[in-house]
Amino acid sequence: MTSLKLQGLQESELYRRRHERQDEPNDTSTNGQSMNPSQASCTHCHEVIRSAEPVLNSCGQLYHPRCFVCAQCFQPFPDELFYEYDGRRYCENDFKKLYAPICATCVQFIIGRVIKALGKNWHPECFRCQNCKTQLSEIGFVGGPGRHLCRPCHAEQKALDLGCHACHRCQQLVEGRALVYKGDYYHPDHFNCHSCRKELTSDARELGGHLYCLPCHDKQGVPVCAACHRPIEGRVINAMGKQWHVEHFVCTTCEKPFRGQRHFERRGLAYCETHYNQLFGDVCYHCNHVIDGDVVSALNKAWCIGCFSCSICNVKLSRRSKFVEFDMKLLCKKCYEKFPLELKKRLKKLAAAEKK
């Protein structure tokens, strides 16, 4: 049997090779360039960087300070901040001008994440629904001619275009009459009566924040507005044999609430004084304007209080004043007395003949 003789550690081949490698000069950088200033060269101009010259190190590459500049404007980088694209470095200003897209909403350069949609670019925070302003970058959108909407708003817009409503719960079109609850439109069958629990129809009524079928609602004894057909929980206006919300009792023409002001009724409709006079009021024979206020009736004509005066001396006349008609004009008694006697006799004969 042959025995093996063990050698010392210093005599092993592995120990010798490792110590020879440690003794070699380590004068190269990660990119293979000599780190000795007398041997290093500029990455841009490839000239040797002298030992007395300052040097810039960027990502393991060495540069003369004069060579470490923007590839577009050849100026040093402000605050040593640069953007790299296709192997070239640019200052922020030139990088934006050359490569950064412009946001279609704020018209600013986009640095970072870009939302591309409908042939345009947006910041994520600027890409919003054109109706409700909800940010669309995470929830998706529906695009159309010149608009981008979130899905709920798109459903509502589609419903409006078709002359109907979109259900606020399921976002589907409501065929037929919708149920209005807290200002939104729904399919009636999404709800049940708060009292009897039956499935509701479009005739349901809201009361105290709850929905009732029509029979259960009528049992509550609450007045219903003649305009919106909804229960009146606050102040009630009693007019024209009906009950109204204060804000719903309005002029038929201008739709402004009366709020305690005088209203005028004609054929079951209410009007404010201004529009009632414009539509149905008397027109002054003198100024040809609708008479807003008291009317003076004389000679089968209507007059404003201010226009009812003598056509010669302009003295204001009242209903009790004595006056004469001459050539379809008003004359006070004094001006009439100044007429020639023959003319006055002729006028009296004409007046007597008209009475017959």
pLDDT at 31: 43
Domain spans of the chain?
222-280, 281-356
β-pair partners for 85: 88
- CATH homologous superfamily, domain 222-280: Cysteine Rich Protein (2.10.110.10)
Task: Give the CATH fold of the 281-356 domain.
Answer: Cysteine Rich Protein (2.10.110)
Residue with tokens 């499935």: 199
Q: Which pTM value belongs to this model?
A: 0.30
pLDDT number for residue 53: 80
Q: 285: number of CA atoms within 13 Å, CB side?
A: 16
Q: In the prediction, which pLDDT does 355 show?
A: 67
Other beta carbons within 10 Å of 86: 7
Low-confidence ranges of the chain (pLDDT < 70): 1-39, 355-356
**C-alpha 235: how far from its chain's center?**
32
Of 207, 233, 201, 236, nearest in space to 219 by CA: 207
117 strand-pairing partners: 120
| Residue 252: predicted pLDDT | 93
- The rounded distance, in Å, linking the Cα atoms of 44 and 37 is 16
- Those residues with Cβ within 8 angstroms of residue 212's Cβ, 6 or more apart along the chain or in another chain: 193, 194, 195, 204, 205, 206, 220
Pinpoint the alpha helices (H) of 5-51. Answer: 13-23
Residue-level pLDDT at 20: 57
3-state SS, residue 323: strand
Comparing 222-280 with 281-356, is the CATH topology the same? Answer: yes
The residues near 135 (Cβ < 8 Å, ≥ 6 apart) are: 124, 125, 127, 128
H-helix segments, 55-182: 92-98, 151-161
pLDDT in tens, 129-165: 988 888 888 888 887 777 888 888 887 777 777 777 8
Maximum CA extent, the chain: 178
Bridge partners (DSSP) of residue 62 are 57
Which pLDDT value is given to residue 200?
87
Residues 6 or more apart in contact with residue 93 via CB below 8 angstroms = 73
Question: How much is the pLDDT for 62?
Answer: 83
